[in-house]
Amino acid sequence: MKDKLREYLDLYLKPQLNAYMGASMAMESKSCNRMSMVMDECSEEDISNFIKKNKEEDTFQSKLLKMIDERNLKDSDVYNKVNIDRRLFSKIRSNKNYHPSKETIILLGLSLELSEKEIEELLESASYSLPMNTEFDLIIRFCFKEKIYDLFQVNEFLEDYNCKILGEKE
């Protein structure tokens, strides 16, 4: 499995970094001009209408609780499996506006054994993503793609690539 992970990283990481560096420099000067034009043309009413029209009603909390219910799990099954503190989980359950860390969402995703698409949706509901330009994010994506949900194995992969492991206190 480690060889498969190395191939996955080689396939996605290097091309993404090279493309990003070239595109980033070319777009930098253009974006400044466009931003000032957009700011001149936008009114507060336009922005409010845009937000109302495009804001998703599904919060992180509602998506998570729906996923737990779909799997017929108890809350304690979910947070105990990946050593999330029950008080933290209680904050998530009781406060629809609570914004957990990306790491907490990944841990919950492992506990729920989400698909790659489902973890992307859950992360997105809290304004996070798994970009294809860092080893950490690619390893996490790989684990969900390959249905590797064991926290010890995921952390072993992360440790092999000198990435921060999940569940570690800073």
User: What Cα–Cα distance (Å) separates residue 67 from each residue in 36, 56, 139?
Assistant: 42, 17, 23
Q: Any idea what DSSP says for residue 98? A: -
Whole-angstrom distance, CA of residue 110 vs CA of residue 147: 9
User: Which residue in this structure is represented by tokens 């996490």?
Assistant: 140
Q: What was the pLDDT predicted at 97?
A: 86
Task: Please determine, for residue 10, whether its predicted confidence score (pLDDT) is greater than 60.
Answer: yes
Q: Which two tokens stand for residue 59?
A: 């919060």
53-85 confidence digits (pLDDT tens): 656 567 899 999 999 999 999 999 999 999 899
pTM (predicted TM-score)? 0.75
Q: What was the pLDDT predicted at 94?
A: 93
Neighbour tally for 136: CB within 10 Å: 19
* Residue partners of 24: CB distance under 8 A and separation at least 6: none
Burial of 58 (0-12, 13-18, 19+ CB in 10 A): exposed
Whole-angstrom distance, CA of residue 99 vs CA of residue 61: 9
- Range in 23-37, 70-84, 92-106, 109-123 with the lowest mean pLDDT: 23-37
Whole-angstrom distance, CA of residue 90 vs CA of residue 19: 42
Domain boundaries in the chain? Answer: 2-25+59-160
Q: Which two tokens stand for residue 151?
A: 């926290």
Q: What was the pLDDT predicted at 46?
A: 74
Region 124-131 average pLDDT: 92
